[in-house]
Amino acid sequence: MHANVVVVGSLNMDLVTRAQRLPRGGETLVGETFVTVPGGKGANQAVAAARLGAQVAMVGCVGDDAYGQQLRQALADEQIDCQAVGVAAGVSSGVALIVVDAASQNAIVIIAGGNGQLLPESVQRFDALLQHADVIICQLEVPMATVAYTLERGRALGKTVILNPAPASGPLPAEWFASIDYLIPNESEAEALSGVPVTDLESAKVAATRLLALGVGKVIVTLGAQGALFADGQAFRHFSAPVVQPVDTTAAGDTFVGGFAAALARGEEEGAAIAFGQRAAALSVTRAGAQPSIPYLAELRP
């Protein structure tokens, strides 16, 4: 199978509990529900792209445990090419511990596990996947050296390269930016990368301008209910978010990235691709969970 979207990134088992509010330091709360759900930013974006119309291949690494088997099977069930999802011996699979409060806000702790074993040579081994792709997506839940290699290789192959800089805690290496066609941060990630606090559309424009000055091709700052800001150095475009009643925001950003990539891969203009990603993300927040909340293409057709 020749995938037109290749995702290089993380696979996590999400351990999700719901409670009325998030716990404070040293506090024990009584939760309401608990579920295990396949997740990880890389896998979520791969599932989103696949459900929203793309042929997808995943490059990643899980541990040799039951979670690892379940994570690979979850991708296979979505018709995602998993030949490049390796299994690291003696290591746990990646895990995300997620608490969701009554207002649908979440707090997350991630354990890298097998994701930390995804090395540049792991990607190199499956170079044919990158060669046949139209769009390559990376995030920051795998080793930085692996992200750096993938971005650079994607640029060398002339592919459309997307970086979702999540989670971001500070500036990215300067040499990365020239390899990125679309940088897609949320408010906090845009602030971490640019040094500009992002609270609204105007501050997002300032942050995006700084990121463009570093050499990235185009920037899309996702602003939750405030929509998304697109910047390419020539102009800004604001895309309003569809109005929905949120249930769980987990994987909304991943759904946007996957939907945007799927639309680009089938030849849609970038504005239409952004609007499509927003519609998919809006539908995802009306449902609980990471991958279970991601919609299918048929649900978004008029």
* 286's tokens: 């009306």
Alpha helices (runs of H) in the chain, residue ranges in sequence order: 41-51, 66-76, 120-124, 127-132, 144-156, 187-194, 201-213, 252-265, 270-284, 297-300
Secondary element (H or E) of residue 61: strand 56-63
Place of tokens 């897609």: 184
CA 105, 283, 222, 43 torsion-angle sign: positive
* 145's tokens: 């050296």
The answer to whether 254 is a known catalytic residue is: yes
The conformation of residue 296, written as its DSSP 8-state character, comes to: P
Closest to 96 in 3D by CA, of 71, 73, 76: 71
| 271/278 Cα distance (integer angstroms) | 11
| 127/121 Cα distance (integer angstroms) | 10
* 93's tokens: 């699979």
- Greatest CA separation for the chain: 52
Residues known to be catalytic? 254
